[in-house]
Amino acid sequence: MNIFLDSSVVLAACLSATGASRLVFDLAARQRWQLLVSPWVLHEVRDNLVGKPPDASRTWAALRGRVTVEGDELTFNWPLAFDVAKDKPVLITALAYADVLLTLDRHDFRGLLGRTVYDLRVLTPGGFLRAERDADRLVE
């Protein structure tokens, strides 16, 4: 399964070793999940790590090797009602490469969380992990 990570999820994984965002990173290899980001997401992560505790940058350096970088997609061939210009590249790139988009951005993605956009599920990391557990797809 291809999982696209919004910068909010990457940052949460860098800031907390015990949250659902980090658990997604920790389970990815065992679950055969491919974690995806884009240059747009990498730029947002880099900008948002400024001013965070130094451990967050060190954690990102360790986690960075677990993600695959896909090219940014900026256009989409079908109608797409999503007004948040700054996050449109995240959504469009996820639509191009992933089965699931994980985000903690409840403001910009509020109308999409828990829904499906052209077969792309948009979930929080916790919601995604619960859905995988409920579907009995988590490998212990």
Check residue 17 and report its DSSP letter.
S
Tell me, yes or no, whether 70 lies in a domain.
yes
Tell me the pLDDT of the chain (140 aa) as tens digits: 999 999 999 999 999 999 999 999 999 999 999 999 999 999 999 999 998 999 999 999 999 999 999 998 765 554 455 554 556 788 889 999 999 999 998 888 777 888 888 889 999 999 999 999 999 998 76
The alpha carbon of residue 101 and the mean position of all alpha carbons in its chain are separated, in whole angstroms, by: 5
CATH number, domain containing residue 17: 3.40.50.1010
Q: The domain containing residue 37 runs over which residues? A: 2-134
Dist CA 52 CA 99 (whole Å): 31
Domain annotation covers residue 140: no
**Number of domains, the chain:** 1
Identify the pLDDT of residue 72.
81
In whole angstroms, give the CA distance from residue 21 to residue 5.
9
pTM value > 0.85: yes
Residue 62 lies in a domain: yes
Using an 8 Å Cβ cutoff, are 7 and 57 in contact? no
